[in-house]
A and B are shown apart, each in its own frame.
Chain A
Amino acid sequence: MSTSSAFNDEKGGSSSVGEPEYGHDPASGGIFSSDYKRHDDLKEMLDSNKDSLKLEAMKRIVAMIARGKNASDLFPAVVKNVACKNIEVKKLVYVYLVRYAEEQQDLALLSISTFQRGLKDPNQLIRASALRVLSSIRVTIIVPIMMLAIKEAASDMSPYVRKTAAHAIPKLYSLDPEQKDQLIEVIEKLLADKTTLVAGSVVMAFEEVCPERIDLIHKNYRKLCNLLIDVEEWGQVVIINMLTRYARTQFLNPNINESLLEEGGVGEKTFYGSDEDEDEDEDEKEKKAEAAALAKRKPYVMDPDHRLLLRNTKPLLQSRNAAVVMAVAQLYFHLAPKAEVGVIAKALVRLLRSHSEVQYVVLQNVATMTIKRRGMFEPYLKSFYIRSTDPTQIKVLKLEVLTNLANETNISTILREFQTYIKSMDKDFVAATIQAIGRCATNIGEVRDTCLNGLVQLLSNRDELVVAESVVVIKKLLQMQPEKHSDIIKHMAKLTDNIQVPMARASILWLIGEYCEHVPKIAPDVLRKMAKSFTNEEDIVKLQIINLAAKLYLTNSKQTKLLTQYVLNLAKYDQNYDIRDRARFIRQLIVPTEKSGALSKYAKKLFLALKPAPVLESPFKDRDHFQLGSLSHLLNAKAGGYQELPDWPEAAPDPSVRNVEVKESVPEWTKCSSREKRKEKKVEKPFYSDSEGESGPTESADSESDSASGSESASGSEESGSRSESEESEEASESEEEEEEEEEKKKKKQKEVKKTVQESESEQSSEEDRKHERKSKPRKSDTESESDEDEESESESSQSESEDSESEAEVKKKKKASEAKPPSKPVKKESKKEKKEMSLLDLDDFEPSPSPQVTPVNTFLSNSLVTDLEGLSLSDSVLAPATIAPSSALKSYELLHRITGEGLSVEYCFSRQPFSPDANMVAVQMQVTNNATTDTKNLHIEDVKLQSGMRVKEFPEIELLAAGETATAVMGIDFCDSTQAANFQLCTHARKFFVSIQPPVGELMRPVFLTENEFKKEQGQLMGMNEITEKLTLDAKCRNEHAIVQRVTTAANLSRVPCGSDKECRFAGRTVTSSSLVLVTVATKEEGAAQLTVNCEKMVIGTMLVKDILLALTQ
């Protein structure tokens, strides 16, 4: 096989035609060598520098893999091409790598660096595929790399990459289960993701890694319910199944009243087994009536979240995907009130039109459902009629369903159907039909005789299998009322001459023996015949012959004594151990001898005791303890990884765990559909309301109008805790009235605020603000006197440290009345008009994603907040001291000295305000003073020189600065989280000055509010290289907590995190551009010794920050 011929072959497939000759037995010498040679060609092709050759080679290799041939010896040659530029070659190399990396771990490591590079690629497709392959390579040594990559990808901008990260989680878990804890953290983070793309994948990861951590779902429950309809179909299945389990642990049984009755009704069910049947319909009615009565006594109120789930899954019954429909069906079956379960029947019946495999699974589930809820499928009886073209396994299942559905009203139709089935050519199916008839006969008393007669007719069928099956069924039926049917028994006795099927013969013999009193003449004759053929019978028949003999001996010893002796003698020498044993045992028991013990007295009782009739029941009877639609249910055996469906709780767990609290949300990157947006907004509602979170059972995706929900959230802070939907409308109207009142209050309040609060910071926040405030009050300089603040803070709380109004505003609304603008969250899209209010009442910090629709709500909200302010008690003083951030002494730097600037001097400081036009920028406040004697005109920025990635938002041109005047301007700089200087020219009408602004590292961040737990958790994720610890001795003046807090917050724009221990001060912030978390801990020890810990993803920032804080604390 020459090279040329090999690659003249067009496709992988056709080239592989020649392969089998060597591929079958690589061990044999000659063949092996050709194998080797052949691979040589491939190697050569892979080493060439032509992409087309490489591609051809890879195609052939992939074809080999597809056919299960071993291509592992090519590994070194293939892995070289992992960085190939041709994307198809690359893809095929990935395929190869994933297949063989496990076997060639060392060589696989060569490729890792390529993927690591890929993880940083600007193209999201490449990032995602690098992560995909990296995580698919099952090489234990790279577990830490995978872990890191997953963590990083979990906070990637692209939802596609985040989705890939979610996919990677179970891969890593299966490779190294010890990573579980860390993976759970990633899962938790991804669960909070708001994009539909990620939702399905992360829930899948959740199910594989930590299905028991149901607590992780609480906060995301409502979001998942609302996103569900937009998630891709496979994700829907996984989410629905998970939510079914969740709901079983969190909500009350909606059928609680009925199920109590059902327990009482178990007795009734056994009635069907025995003879006295009652009218079923009446029972049902009675039950319902009782249930209704019970319900009145003890009303069951469905948790609104439970309702939300039911409502949001219902449309998915219309999905084209059978798995989704089935998932919803099982959810309804397990969770919905009885009256509502009916809706699923139609959808399930629709699935019966699908492929036979789908039918098979659906019918299995329908069979289980029909046992519990027969009424549901009764209208669709005809859909289960059997066609001759159905595969046997489907026929049998349909039969099962039909049998379950049979009742007094439809039994005649069903039996007529069964009659046609018995004539079918499919004998297995006929046998199953006979069984089914038997079951109908036991269940429905009226038709028992009809069925029995029909079955007896079948006894004359030409097909032995049919007859045998009938005999077996008749035997069971007769056992119920033997006295009425002695003629049938006689008829059957005659059959022993013809029937050869052992099971049937055995059944007949047993019947005759059991009811020998009803056929006293025939029985001994049968025994005689049997004794004759004893030696030729099957074991099972022989045993029954012995049985028959024994019974006859006891009842009619005169006629059968000798026969019995004969049979027992034959049996004594039988080959079968059991038969010899039985014969000996029976002889001892029935034939009285002097040795025989006390037992023989009771022989009659032993043999002729009344035997309970067998209960013919569905093989699907006990399957419903498995979650429907699951593999375990189908197999009726627990499959690996199956999660039990928990029983309903006695009392519902606290529903408030599902309320979504205010917290830093994962930034949302996706554009979402209008549908989603609507929902998203509703999900966010709790953000606007009180942090206690009454968020709303009512926030469902559909129905409620926006206005209603908007006002609801506005009034939320007062109305918290209200849950029922009916209340909601009242609420809405109430709140409107309140709003008006509040409006007025607010106005008053605003005035007060303006007077009392110093406003220095707000002026920087935006041009508009400044103008606005200037009108109201003359401006002071940028730094503020502490006394002013103290006045203000005293009125609010007794804390001495409350100089800083920003952080308070973040935590407690009451302090929002202060003018300081909290830096934590920038205003993005607010209209200018809004901004004015914002500066007075900072609300936006509570609002994670300022979307345009939200703005009107803000005004409402502010109203309620103001009222809140008045009513606030001391309760917040607990938190207030802990969350203080600095602002007092804003350090100002010189940008342009008076002399170099020829009379113009510029100082700047980092105002620590969010820069409203762009959240990623650091606000730099400049104070321009004209010390010259002439006016300066047209002061503006020009010729900005920046490092790549950095951006500058210039301040608006200052048209005129009169001599001696001072003006302030705010510009924004995006430093890209680096301390690189921003260089630019400051131009006046006459001159240009080169200036540069270099930020201290502490200004590159903005404070975030974290709880102690969140802090610890985040810190746990930023260990290792991301943690920097430094020991220090505190400056003598700075040994108390207050001083430490002040110094740290002066050095860096961080906010304090509440902390239980007084030995530790914690601070948290995020870098402005990349939003990487920065955590600082100062642990104090005796004698001014202390330890400073900084955790930050960006190591450079971390090291620099350590230096700065160290300096601040030691000097």
Chain B
Amino acid sequence: MIHSLFLVNASGDIFLEKHWKSVVSRSVCDYFFEALERATEPENVPPVIPTPHHYLISVLRHRIYFVAVIQSEVPPLFVIEFLHRVVDTFQDYFGVCTEAAIKDNVVVVYELLEEMLDNGFPLATESNILKELIKPPTILRTMVNTITGSTNVGEQLPTGQLSVVPWRRTGVKYTNNEAYFDVVEEIDAIIDKSGSTITAEIQGVIDACVKLTGMPDLTLSFMNPRLLDDVSFHPCVRFKRWEAERILSFIPPDGNFRLLSYHVSSQNLVAIPVYVKHNITFREGSSQGRFDLTLGPKQTMGKAVESVLVSSQLPRGVLNANLNPSQGTYTFDPVTKLLSWDVGKINPQKLPSLKGTMSLQAGASKPDENPTINIQFKIQQMAISGLKVNRLDMYGEKYKPFKGIKYMTKAGKFQVRT
């Protein structure tokens, strides 16, 4: 299956290679570099590149290309999904997944890759299992290891491999038993010029941080499970129970994990929490353009809209922008033509606005294109779909855990066309 893996940084250098079968010369990456050159944007490199003897499947995460070399038929998603899992694991282990972090922990990286694939076929990808095999590096452990000469490689077979709950390690112990669930919803929307909604949908996830002793068996029920239209589960969730009773019943992995992701049925109208008034015009003949943008909250159920960030890719003809924000700060990058405005919190009494002029290339005709405006925001303590967790129960263990549930709404791919 996966023959080799090359990690390529943004400047096109291979800084790590790993082979699971015979060694494949790194010159195979030349085909990748060719494609990289052809692509105008870094994300436009085709994920699958055929070469005379191999196929290169790559993903781009954190400005690092993970290029897998394969030799024969394999479902491309299999490889892509695996590569993303590798990145997730690195992130889990090192906190960040950067070139520097990988280089600093090259031995752990190598050990991880060794355990994750055997002969190119995934062996252990579950983070709980990997952590039993290879302990994540911490400053304390590094120090202890140097002094005592002990290792950070587990000696035991990861018990999870054999148990019926491979995602959970055994013998978990905590003094404070806690279980936190974050219901995070994202609104994906396209708003057209006139302010009407072209498409809007809500996607949500429930991320959990469970630190419970022993083998707890949890059930989570919702007040309004019908809202959930399409769900995908962490393997720990008992599917039958969900089908029958719409209850999430599971033995959780230890630590952080994504319990569920869902899509709210499209029948429900989506409440759009912000509106944008915009007026971006270029006059024919003049080298000036006008830029006028005002944001306002709507349908937020009294909650504040926070961390608002507006960004827009202005047409190539724009040389500079001279704008005046009523709050927050804005930047305009004359090279990439990217305008971004960090608004902060929207105050309903005093709506934030950004007004001013844009200077165009002298003599050039007015640009045809209309920039789109991307908006990011957060609303705490609210799930925009109205989803509510009813209760969380624990079975199988005696103690009383501390439980917490948090709701949040965010903008996903929220775009306003102008």
Contact = CB atoms under 8 A, between A and B. Distances in A.
Interface of A: 10-14, 16, 50-52, 55, 59, 62-63, 65-68, 86-88, 91-92, 94-95, 99, 102, 123-125, 128, 132, 135-136, 138, 158-160, 164, 167-168, 170-171, 174, 197, 201, 204, 229, 232-234, 237, 241, 315, 318-323, 325-327, 346-347, 349-350, 353, 355-358, 360-362, 382-383, 385, 387-389, 391-393, 417, 420, 423-425, 461-463, 629-632, 634-635, 637, 639-643, 670-673, 676, 702
Contacts of B369: 423-425
Contacts of B400: none
Contact of A125 (B16, B23, B59, B156): B156
A385 B368 contact: no
A391 B233 contact: no
A347 B122 CA distance: 24
25 contacts: A10-B142, A68-B14, A204-B121, A315-B239, A315-B243, A318-B231, A318-B233, A319-B233, A322-B77, A346-B230, A357-B80, A361-B47, A389-B415, A391-B41, A420-B192, A425-B369, A462-B365, A463-B368, A631-B74, A631-B76, A632-B73, A639-B55, A639-B72, A639-B73, A670-B162
Interface string B43-58: 1101110100001001
Contacts of A420: 192, 417
A315 B48 CA distance: 29
Given A95-B110, A102-B22, A423 B370 contact: yes
Most chain A CB inside 10 Å of its own CB: which residue of B44, B48, B119, B157: B119
A94 B103 CA distance: 21
A388 B198 CA distance: 14
Nearest to A94: B114
B103 A13 contact: yes
A392 B369 CA distance: 16
Contacts of A13: 103-107
Contacts of B233: 318-320
B114 A95 contact: yes
Interface string B165-184: 01000000000000000000
Contact of A393 (B14, B44, B50, B231): B44
A162 B40 CA distance: 48
B17 A68 contact: yes
A322 B72 contact: no
B104 A14 contact: yes
A630 B80 contact: no
B149 A51 contact: yes
Given A63-B106, A382-B199, A425-B316, A233 B149 contact: no
B286 interface: no
Contacts of B269: none
Contact of A99 (B19, B105, B263): B19
A124 to B, nearest CB: 6
B9 interface: no
A1011 B357 CA distance: 90
Contact of A323 (B41, B75, B316): B75
Interface in B92-134: 103-107, 109-111, 114, 118-119, 121-123, 125
Contacts of A461: 368
Contact of A357 (B22, B47, B164): B47
B26 interface: yes
B390 interface: no
A55 B84 CA distance: 30
A11 B123 CA distance: 27
B121 A234 contact: yes
B82 A234 contact: yes
B55 to A, nearest CB: 6
Contacts of B329: none
Given A322-B80, A349-B230, A673-B164, 8 more contacts: A13-B104, A13-B107, A14-B104, A320-B258, A323-B75, A382-B199, A392-B40, A629-B75
Contact of A88 (B50, B76, B152): B152
B399 interface: no
Contact of A640 (B73, B121, B365): B73
B21 interface: yes
Nearest to B155: A87
Contacts of B61: 355
Given A87-B151, A424-B369, A672-B164, A234 B78 contact: yes
A55 B151 contact: yes
Contact of A326 (B77, B151, B413): B77
A641 B230 contact: no
Given A91-B111, A356-B43, A62 B239 contact: no
A355 B19 contact: no
Contacts of B315: 425
Interface in B240-268: 240, 243, 258, 261, 263
A860 to B, nearest CB: 27
Interface in B191-221: 192, 198-199, 201, 203
A347 B121 contact: no
A124 B77 contact: no
Interface string B353-392: 0000000000001001111101000000000000000000
Nearest to A643: B73
A414 to B, nearest CB: 12
A671 B151 contact: no
Given A51-B149, A358-B77, A392 B104 contact: no
Contact of B198 (A91, A385, A642): A385
B18 interface: yes
A326 B110 contact: no
A693 to B, nearest CB: 28
Nearest to A318: B232
A201 B121 contact: yes
Contacts of B110: 62, 65-66, 95
B234 interface: yes
A392 B232 CA distance: 28
Contacts of B18: 66
A204 B117 CA distance: 13
B278 to A, nearest CB: 15
Contacts of B1: 204
B7 to A, nearest CB: 9
B41 A388 contact: no
Contacts of B327: none
B187 to A, nearest CB: 12
A138 B149 contact: no
A318 B231 CA distance: 6
Given A319-B232, A360-B47, A361-B76, A423 B368 contact: yes
Contact of B203 (A353, A385, A630): A353
A124 B368 contact: no
Nearest to A128: B157
B235 interface: yes
Nearest to B58: A357
B59 A357 contact: yes
A86 B109 CA distance: 19
Given A68-B17, A350-B230, A355 B80 contact: yes
Contacts of B243: 315
B232 A350 contact: yes
Contacts of A174: 21
B239 A387 contact: no
A59 B146 CA distance: 13
B81 interface: yes
Contact of A171 (B17, B23, B119, B372): B119
A132 B261 CA distance: 36
B146 A640 contact: no
A197 B163 CA distance: 10
B73 A642 contact: yes
Contacts of B310: none
Contacts of A702: 240
Contacts of A158: 162
B161 interface: yes
B81 A358 contact: yes
A323 B78 contact: yes
Most chain A CB inside 10 Å of its own CB: which residue of B43, B55, B229: B43
